Structure 1
């Protein structure tokens, strides 16, 4: 039997999941990674491919692995897709969470559980949701807090801001970078269309977010929710200017709407910082790593 702590990471082949697997493996954890289908992973990671909406499969997985930690990243996180298929979004984000928590409650109740929420979700179920995705994450949060209270489980929640960094992502920074790489290769006209250059968001490197998740496992309080952010709003125009400085070609921008109304509220990460966490990767380093990633992996990039 291994002397290393074991962690179950769901959604392991996603943007954050791949970084989480690498981080926790290097930190000395025994990593058990779940994916919907088989994918290439490091040989020291135990890969389990299953459907988290299959209650029996989830129960058997927990019975076999009995993890000490659960990092629940899997789910449907695309707002547009949630409008197209709200029921599947509810299933992916709520039912999968219920099956995992219930299995751990019955088999391994000492497991520390971290549910990853979103800065896009409703703060309260009494608020009207802005989209089905927000509703699904709010329900997921209520479910987690309810199970934690009813069954005395060590469940915590983390709500990161907009995550950026190297890897395949459908975030705005990644989409800009992919287009610029195509421009550099002569496959697109040197014109970047941006809906609103003045729209502002909090951007945080995914690697800093994963280190925050580890900090929560070690020092977090059961039942607490931890917001994770850089604490600084940046406009899409700032991102474009940063990419222009890094690009090998000049390009122009076209914006359909430059109204100041599209501003994200500043997200306070006071609670997680009290635990000793701090974000260490500069914004400029994150942007460069995204552009470099797509230059090296352009043939596998998303279709634009």
Structure 2
């Protein structure tokens, strides 16, 4: 019987992938999540424990008791902006926490670790100007991406010694309900919701709108993760999979889509503090390998995804004290 452990289960993606792992067609067994925050709304039968990956003892004890056959490692600091302002904490969480997880997985030989890295690892390779395959040499340009690239290398070194298989996942930008406002589309939606509610003046603060990024709805990302976990036994050790649409869009197009469904007009203001330095003009990933291995394809329409983000921002604002 398969036993799937999801780290970072209380985070943005965890809430979308846990139901797929627990209730999807042809899936079964036991599913458990761990995270630093309070237990999220969980599907029936999914267990949850509040564990910080930096608590090596608690983590080791949980893994030894649960004995996972697959681990989806979502936990970590995922904001490029936060990593720039707090690099030491990014390295501590993303690498020290990973090392603790590897040590704990000594109790789970034969397991497959699905390590959620990031498309950001390609960095300067994006200057080629087209969607990259997994064969592109990573050239990370920021602390967050470097921490993930180092994590990939650490796992290639350590997992063979403990009999654990590695599958690396490199998702590109994903959006959807539950994402916080450190990320660009959620930031736009949160600002629009406040403008609509009369809690902010009709002026939207933005950064660079010309950059082109590979956006997916979080439901499509979660579906890719679940499909790969379903095929864990068939995937070669060390496999790497991009998870992206392959169709980059400008940040301006995301803003235009949100403006089209906004209930109140607003003006745009470019705020210098929101413009990221060393910006890559285009970042996109070729997911042909994922499609061939799983039959995956994006299903959520762009317009529906944007509308869902804005509806979520409105609902969260209405529920706030």
State whether TM-score is above 0.5: yes
Query: CA contact under 8 A between 1:160 and 1:229: conserved in structure 2?
Result: yes
Structure-2 residue corresponding to 1:130: 141
Q: What are the residue-to-residue correspondences of 1:18-37 with 2, within 5 Å? A: 18-27=15-24, 28-37=28-37
- Equivalent residue for 1:206? 218
CA distance in structure 1 between the partners assigned to 2:147 and 2:319 by the alignment: 30
Q: Is the 8 A contact 1:162 1:204 kept in 2?
A: yes
Matches of 1:132 and 1:300, distance apart in 2:
35
User: What is the root-mean-square deviation in Å for CA atoms of aligned residues?
Assistant: 2.4
1:8 aligned residue: 5
SS at match of 2:237: coil
Residue 122 to residue 241, structure 1, CA distance change in 2 (3 Å): closer
Match of 1:77 in 2: 78
Is 1:294 the counterpart of 2:299 in the alignment? no
After TM superposition, give the deviation of residue 240 of structure 1 in Å: 1.3
1:248 lines up with 2:263 in the alignment: yes
Counterparts of 2:83 and 2:61, CA distance in 1: 29
The 2-side partners of 1:299 and 1:121 are apart by 37
User: Which whole-Å deviations, capped at 9, do the CAs of 1:152-209 have from their partners, x for residues lacking one?
Assistant: 4211010100010111323211110011011111111222122222121110111111
Q: Report 1 or 2 for greater relative contact order, CA contacts < 8 Å, sequence distance ≥ 6.
A: 2
- Residues 198 and 262 of structure 1 are in contact (CA less than 8 Å); yes or no, is this contact kept in structure 2? no
1:236-289 CA-partner distances (Å, limit 9, x unpaired): 11111111111112222233689xx74223311111011111111111111011
Cα distance, 1:140 vs structure 2: 0.4
Aligned length: 295
Match of 1:188 in 2: 200
Tell me: CA distance 1:164–1:300, structure 2 relative to 1, closer, same or farther (3 Å).
same
4+ residue stretches of structure 1 with deviation over 6 A?
A: none
Structure 1 pair 269/32, CA: closer, same or farther in 2 (3 Å)?
A: same
User: Which secondary structure state, in structure 2, belongs to the residue aligned with residue 121 of structure 1?
Assistant: helix
1:218 lines up with 2:237 in the alignment: no
Does residue 174 of structure 2 align to residue 163 of structure 1? yes
